[in-house]
Amino acid sequence: MRAVIFDWGGTLTPWVTMDHLAAWRAYADVLHPDDAERAAGLAATVSAAESAAWLRVRDHHTAFTLAQVLDSVGAPHDVPALDAFRGYWDRATYTDPEVAPMLGVLRERGLRTGVLSSTAWPAAWHVDVLRRDGVHDLFDALVWSSDLAYTKPHRVAFEAAMAAVGVDDPADCVYVGDRPYDDISGAKAVGMRAILVPHSDIPLAQQVPVDVRPDAVVQKLSDLPAVLDEWLRHR
């Protein structure tokens, strides 16, 4: 075991159920502050385009970006409007307080640490969040699907994360995530061990049945080092 790679939303950050349409309404209200009907129409259009993109992720694992969503419906890349969109999501971005001490323990064990997240957000937004919460420098590598051709559970995404942390054998990696399909089945399909954090209320439309079980389940991230220590003792 040489590296532990984490999902971001719902794993490093506690799950928060959010209204995607309301997020785009925050964006649209900046563009059309005096026309509620026009703002509502724009929000609905962009939200529908984003939902369609996430369905393609579920079915085909093709990555996408917010910029591509906006371009698909001719919506502007207006910075203040996107700042409002981002601000709406802010409360769902805070890092679990257990992350920093847990990562410290893993690094003391000599393990590399990384992030692999299926996301449409620009990498810079995520980096800002991790820096805000004081954990950015505790990771050896960060991989966001917005920089890739594919999302989890496609093997290309996991292979990109392995390369980023400098490990070429998936058997030397552990993946930690909250989604049985994207995270657990994806990691195990490429030969990693996988640990489930089972607290996310994943929308029904994003769920895919799997017949793969995680190698372990942790109720909180502070329990992770003990699981890894047990595996190391029996290797």
* All domains of the chain in start order, with CATH: 3-16+93-233 (3.40.50.1000), 20-91 (no CATH)
DSSP class of 53: H
pLDDT value at residue 207: 80
pLDDT value at residue 235: 67
Which tokens sit at 227? 């699981």
Could you give the strand order of the β-sheet that contains 141-144, starting from the edge strand earlier in sequence?
141-144, 112-117, 3-6, 173-177, 193-196, 216-217
Cβ atoms within 10 A of the Cβ of 104, count?
Answer: 13
At 139, phi and psi to the nearest 5? -105, 140
User: Which amino acid is located at 97 in the chain?
Assistant: P
At 11, phi and psi to the nearest 5? -120, -70
Helix (H, G, I), strand (E, B) or coil at 63: coil
Q: What is d(CA 142, CA 146) in angstroms, rounded to the nearest whole number? A: 12
pLDDT value at residue 201: 82
Closest Cα to residue 152, out of 47, 2, 13, 11? Answer: 11
pLDDT value at residue 34: 98
Which tokens sit at 138? 């505790």
pLDDT value at residue 200: 79
| Residue ranges in the chain modelled with pLDDT below 70 | 235
pLDDT value at residue 234: 74
Q: What is d(CA 39, CA 23) in angstroms, rounded to the nearest whole number? A: 12
Q: What is d(CA 98, CA 66) in angstroms, rounded to the nearest whole number? A: 30
pLDDT value at residue 174: 98
pLDDT value at residue 228: 96
